[in-house]
Amino acid sequence: MTNQGLSISAALRKRFAEARRVVVLTGAGVSAESGVPTFRGGGQSAVWKGMPFDKISSAAMLERNLAEVWEWFDYRRGVIEKIEPNAAHRALARWQERFEDFTLVTQNVDGLHQAAGSRDVIELHGNLWRARCMSCRRKYDLRDRESEASRTYACADCGSYLRPDVVLFGEIVPGGAFERAAAAAARCELCFVVGTSALVYPAAGLPEVAKAAGAYVIEVNPERTPLSDLCDACVQGKAGEVLPLFC
């Protein structure tokens, strides 16, 4: 028994050691362990200038008041800019080197997986640190403070407005992202679902795809979720405490 009483069974360790194709889906719980707020509040709780999360982070608000949306996302980046990856992020970066075929899929938009060293992360909901032109769709790294586009939110190519490169309420997942994730889930042997309530689709459908294709599905979460009954194994605990145990 280690990490405050947590342990991984010998059977799970064996599956992990022998696997070649692994998919991991992460959610807000992983980044919350680093101190990233979810901002969602409870129900219709106001989170920004008296507005609930699903209003200020919506496609409707983007059309109605782009400047206000940028102010909100600038605030969000300011909150997380000094937050560091935790043990779960670092463990997953190491897993990438361990398996023949490893796919990391995340619902998070904070970029902490990449900061920990993970490569080719499939970001289902985009990234807070990117902007996208609303006309030509060119993308910009907002951490490049020497870029005029990063300072003015105007596209260097066509002069059109930029918007946050994230999926807002009322929008769909970027083309190709879910398809890539689903293809990986359909061929994997192990599928980990980590730190997510498994309520938001299409991401929540990935474990279902993996399970239907014959994969062994493992949930890592402090508490049971609607997905728990589908899983072959549930390890209750924080991601930062549980994932390093597999290594």
Residue 184 in tokens: 């990986």
For residue 241, being part of any structural domain is answered with yes
* Residue 76 burial (CB count, 10 A): 20
For residue 235, being part of any structural domain is answered with yes
Percent of the chain exceeding pLDDT 70 equals: 94
Three-class DSSP category at 217: strand
Domain containing 218 — which CATH number? 3.40.50.1220
| Positive or negative: CA dihedral 23, 141, 139, 203 | positive
For residue 144, being part of any structural domain is answered with no
pLDDT at 4: 44
Q: Are 79 and 37 in contact (CB under 8 A)?
A: yes
pLDDT in tens, 206-218: 999 999 999 999 9
Please give the backbone phi and psi of residue 217, each rounded to the nearest 5 degrees, phi first.
-105, 125
Q: What is the largest CA-CA distance in the chain?
A: 59
For residue 119, being part of any structural domain is answered with yes
Please give the backbone phi and psi of residue 116, each rounded to the nearest 5 degrees, phi first.
-85, -10
In the predicted model, is pLDDT for residue 1 greater than 50? Answer: no
Q: Are 109 and 128 in contact (CB under 8 A)?
A: yes
> Cα–Cα distance between 6 and 201 in angstroms, integer?
30
Rg (CA), the chain: 19
Query: The domain containing residue 184 runs over which residues?
Result: 10-36+85-125+172-246
Three-class DSSP category at 161: strand
Long-range contacts of 202-205 (CB under 8 A, 24+ apart): 202/124, 202/173, 202/178, 203/25, 203/27, 203/105, 203/107, 203/124, 203/173, 203/178
For residue 158, being part of any structural domain is answered with no
For residue 107, being part of any structural domain is answered with yes
pLDDT in tens, 98-118: 999 999 999 999 999 999 999
pLDDT in tens, 11-48: 999 999 999 999 999 999 999 999 998 766 554 566 88
For residue 80, being part of any structural domain is answered with no
pLDDT at 41: 53
Q: Out of 15, 76, 125, 130, which one is annotated catalytic?
A: 125
pLDDT at 45: 62
Three-class DSSP category at 196: coil
The total domain count for the chain is 1
Query: Strands, E, within the chain: which ranges?
Result: 21-26, 46-48, 51-52, 101-106, 122-123, 126-133, 139-141, 162-166, 190-194, 216-221, 233-236
pTM of the model: 0.93
125 is catalytic: yes
In the predicted model, is pLDDT for residue 162 greater than 60? Answer: yes
Average pLDDT, the chain: 92
For residue 143, being part of any structural domain is answered with no
β-sheet bridge partners, residue 21:
101
pLDDT in tens, 56-79: 999 999 999 999 999 999 999 999
- The pLDDT-based confidence of 230 (bands split at 50, 70, 90) is very high
